[in-house]
Structure 1
Amino acid sequence: MNNNTFVVSDLDGTLLNNDGLLSKHSRTKLQRLINNGLNFTVASARSLHTISYILQDLQLSLPVICLNGAYISDYNTKKHLVINEIQQEVRQGIRGYVEKHNVGVFISTHHNGEDFLFYNQINNGGLQWYYEDRIASNDQRLKKTISIKELRDHYITCFTFIDKEKKLLQIKRELLDQFQDKVEIHLFENLYSRGWYWLTAHDYRATKDRAIQQLQDEFGHQDKELIVFGDHINDIKMFKIAHQCIAVQNADERLKKHAHEVIGTNMEDSVANYLEAMFRPQ
């Protein structure tokens, strides 16, 4: 195994199949590569809870990047090593927007060593889908809140608005106009509930590229070749810092423009197959 590489993969649409699962084929190949010394981890918009639920018994030797870089977390102990909380000015502004327009939102927080996922109301099909998805996965973080003001003592790391694209574009414009470089915004369609879009708001420090660089510094991988895999525009920043940027065939065309190579789709175990071929003993 070539230990001069550092590999980071996105999850949804990249490493996972269209059911949001890591196939047995990919799991077996990845575990074999990791056991043989591959420096491998994942960077995802998902929470630590959900990453753990999906990867299950896959044994990672490196921390994982959660909520697009809001957290860097120890996969084995389930403790956060880095928490990039949203600044008070931004969270207060978003609270005012939510109350003024009476919109439903999910709020990711951390308090007294625990993660929480609060929601204020379920008033459309997209929010309902996410609520039921969290119930189905036995997500103990899920809690009802009357007001965001109740969370004043929590680290707030992400606001997730779920609605139709047109409405979220309006929210996106207003948040960027108000907070500019203090917030990191992502707008994307839910791959598993088509027609409903998600708008996530993080602190400006919560990006995959920043998190990867922190991991490289912390674990002494600065001089290693960085290889990244992705499918969506929230992967562009990590593509820009990598030595090798690899997009799956089903990736957004805007991301493909930044890729050095395009491989098969996420339904073909393409990431695991590519890594196996790359690190096959000569």
Structure 2
Amino acid sequence: MIKYKWCVCDMDGTLLNSDNVISKDNEVALKKLQKMGVEVIIASGRLDLMVKTYIKQLNLKGPVISCNGGLVRNIETGEVLYSKVMDKIAVKEVTTYCNNSEIEFIIYTADLVYSTKNNRVGKRYADRNKILLQDEQIPIKYIDDKVMANINDIDAFKVLLVCEKHEDIILLQKHFSKYDNLTVVSSATGLLDIMASDISKGKALEILSKKSNVSLDEIMVFGDNYNDIEMFKCAGMPIAMENAVEDVKLAAKYITKSNNESGIAYAINNYILKE
């Protein structure tokens, strides 16, 4: 009898390989857990509306932790289980700074993604929309002068800064970390996530576990980057990908194979099911 009730998976660099695909091995292993009564939950820096394809592939029915914990929403009913939007003045200051400094960015809201036209992440989402079914497409609106003029009308869960050089991200992280009302964390090379204060995947997982009466000791988590560390600190079984940053590996109980080697499946079959 397996002792875990939840299997929580980060997306990029963890559940998804470098082609943004859930491998067959990962799919089979996660569905095996589901048959054993384990609920699979996605915990992503992305908005939940951006992972509909993967939700459908894994036949998920419950909550999704998105925007690094800024929004927790039931994917079947649409019920918001937890949310915390950014301070509107802070959103304006961050986006104005980026605009003036020619830094590309994306704003995540409950039902829409605002993106500058030239950034690589926004372009990837737009290109992906071309091959997705209509109900799986990412709702994107491009940022122009009108959007900037009405920025105070936007309820943002996250602002994602996109830079070509990670050195620029490090400088931006230092700059915005001075704000008491913001949480600032790098989620991948060249990306900086900015959310409301006291937001993390770990905090969201704690809130969700209390609501659902699931002990944190009964939760396994998979991740690879800095925005996964708080989740690793609170879960009973934190497992890092081989491609994870060193700080994530240090917080893990196991280190599995990389995201390009179906590391989640390897860990499930070789660590979890053999406990």
Asked whether the equivalents of residues 69 and 205 of structure 1 are also in contact (C-alpha less than 8 Å), the reply is: no
Cα pair distance change 1:90/1:270, threshold 3 Å: same
Partner of 2:51: 51
Cα distance, 1:216 vs. partner?
A: 0.4
Q: Distance in 2 between matches of 1:268 and 1:165?
A: 25
Tell me the amino acid that sits aligned with residue 82 of structure 1.
Answer: Y
Asked whether the equivalents of residues 241 and 263 of structure 2 are also in contact (C-alpha less than 8 Å), the reply is: yes
1:124-273 alignment, distance < 5 Å? 127=119, 129-138=120-129, 139-145=137-143, 146=145, 147-163=147-163, 164-177=165-178, 179=179, 181-190=180-189, 197-222=190-215, 224-273=217-266
Cα distance, 1:119 vs. partner?
A: 2.5
Q: Distance in 1 between matches of 2:63 and 2:34?
A: 13
Cα distance, 1:81 vs. partner?
A: 2.9
Q: Distance in 2 between matches of 1:255 and 1:238?
A: 10
Cα distance, 1:3 vs. partner?
A: 5.4
5+ long unaligned stretches in structure 1? 191-196
Q: Secondary structure at the match of 1:161?
A: strand
Q: Secondary structure at the match of 1:202?
A: strand
Q: Distance in 1 between matches of 2:232 and 2:19?
A: 25
Partner of 1:108: 108
Partner of 2:73: 73
TM normalised by structure 2 equals 0.86
Cα distance, 1:120 vs. partner?
A: 4.0
5+ long unaligned stretches in structure 2? 130-136
Q: Distance in 1 between matches of 2:41 and 2:176?
A: 31
Asked whether the equivalents of residues 31 and 58 of structure 1 are also in contact (C-alpha less than 8 Å), the reply is: yes
Q: Distance in 1 between matches of 2:171 and 2:243?
A: 28
Partner of 2:134: none
Tell me the amino acid that sits aligned with residue 126 of structure 2.
Answer: I
Cα distance, 1:213 vs. partner?
A: 0.8
Q: Secondary structure at the match of 1:33?
A: helix
Q: Deviations over 1:108-128 (max 9, x none)?
A: 123xxxx11112452xxxx1x
Cα distance, 1:88 vs. partner?
A: 2.5
TM normalised by structure 1 equals 0.84
Asked whether the equivalents of residues 183 and 196 of structure 2 are also in contact (C-alpha less than 8 Å), the reply is: yes
Cα pair distance change 1:270/1:166, threshold 3 Å: closer
Q: Distance in 1 between matches of 2:274 and 2:161?
A: 47
Q: Secondary structure at the match of 2:157?
A: strand
Over 4 Å off, 4+ runs: 277-282
Cα distance, 1:278 vs. partner?
A: 5.3
- CA root-mean-square deviation: 2.4
Q: Secondary structure at the match of 1:156?
A: coil
Cα distance, 1:224 vs. partner?
A: 4.7
Identity %: 23
Aligned residues: 265
